[in-house]
Chains A and B, each alone.
Chain A
Amino acid sequence: MVAGSTGRVVPAWRGAWLRVEGYWAWYRRYWRSNVYSTGLQPLLFLLAMGLGFGSQVQAGPATGGLSYVHYIAPALLVSAALQNAVGESTYPVLSGFKWQKDYLAVTATPVTPGQVLGGHLIWVALRLLLSGSVYALVAIPFGAWLNAGAVLVVLVGTVTGLACAAPVTALAATTYDEGVRFNAVFRFVVMPMTLFAGTFFPIGQIPLAVRWLAWISPLWHGNELARGVTLGGLSPAAALGHLAFLAALFAIGAVLARRYFYRRLVV
């Protein structure tokens, strides 16, 4: 599995996949301790908010005439994917630079910083696909899905998660001190986004003066897409717009992250 000892450069994708293989070797040993983030978290929210809180909610215009569990099931997947993606791109990335220093170790081999970043993003995507699929399957017996569009929701969740993973990875690559920054991201960005980006209630209930905050949040775009592919009512133009927003966020984040990875790893 080693690229030879000639000092040859590893082909671009192969280097990234070697990193993924490394993550997988770790995950195979420790998957049990990740059961919570692998599908269980959104399921717990589905039970508590969809069924428990939902039992208090009358189906009405706010939920598009649907029962509450159908209304929030797709959005919960996207929201959990986003939280997982941000989680995987903060402390684990800083740890690669600072505590475990595996990024430094890997870039001492012919694998480049860009490939380290690529491997990280591919791994996040695979984790999101896995956890999304687990949730989609386990939620079936609870009557969460109206149709097979749930399969597409898994993809929407992955795309939304990646759109956030890239910029957060860039942030982590410029972070040297664990103190405040990640905390601020969780508390001032992720948490308000989870509450106010249309996951639990339509953003139409938010006063117009601050509603634009929901519009610029990636989670809202993900939620709209996810509801669109399972519950319908999404025009192709709007879908393209949402996708374009997420893709742009990912692209900007990835370019910045690549620059910072090189800056920090190439001495």
Chain B
Amino acid sequence: MKILVTVKEVATVEDEFEIEGTEIAGQYLGADLNEWDDYAIEEAVQLQEDGIADEVVAVTIGPEDCEQTIRQALAKGADRAVRVWDDALEDVDLLDVNAKTEILSAVIEAEEPDLVLSGVQAGDDSFGATGVSVAEEIGFQWGAVVNHLEHDLEDGVASVRRELEGGVEELTDIELPAVLTIQTGINEPRYASLRGIRQAQRKELNVQTLDDIGVDESTIETELELTEMYEPESESDATVWEGSADETAGELGELLRDKGVAQ
């Protein structure tokens, strides 16, 4: 069985930052592997360790700068990686779900995996829609917000739990091939070992353009335009206790006694 994991390098933002136009100023940004994708990688690697998967392929859409991040997936155990990038994507400030669907679907159709794992959402743009959209595009079954996957995948069925709201889980059987969007907490993502990091440098990282994967530039024209970005107005009317830790802890202590919840 072949598993494909979609991964994304996301931008992280410092507590204090400035906005320039519709972007956060570069000096306040960092880059990291999308948290949800980290769990998706771990799930795929565990399936490989359990003898279910023969091959784990990581796929990303991103410029050369993100190779360090995608190599994290390789260091954690993915066998090889595909990175799609194109000059046509360079100036797009918000790659929408449809564009991502076109690109990822083309890669998946070429790779023909049995199972695609994708993070529920990306920590930066938070659309949470690409996995299901891709499944529909390529005619795979799907399940969104999966927080448990039975690893036997018996008879070509993935038995999953979907995490609903309010502490309820839905048990669902999904026929393969399928796309599952993976929720945090499904497993405990590993740290890449030093050996894994060394090995990752030698693993195949195949760079493809839109042309290479057979996607026409016009089909990924993004329909969403980011027109404004601003810091949400603080609605805080909290009483902020000032002073040393000793003093502020004292204020809180007094409050707890006043409320009668602690002595």
Q: Do A and B originate from a single complex?
A: no
Q: Enumerate chain A interface residues (CB-CB to B < 8 A).
A: none
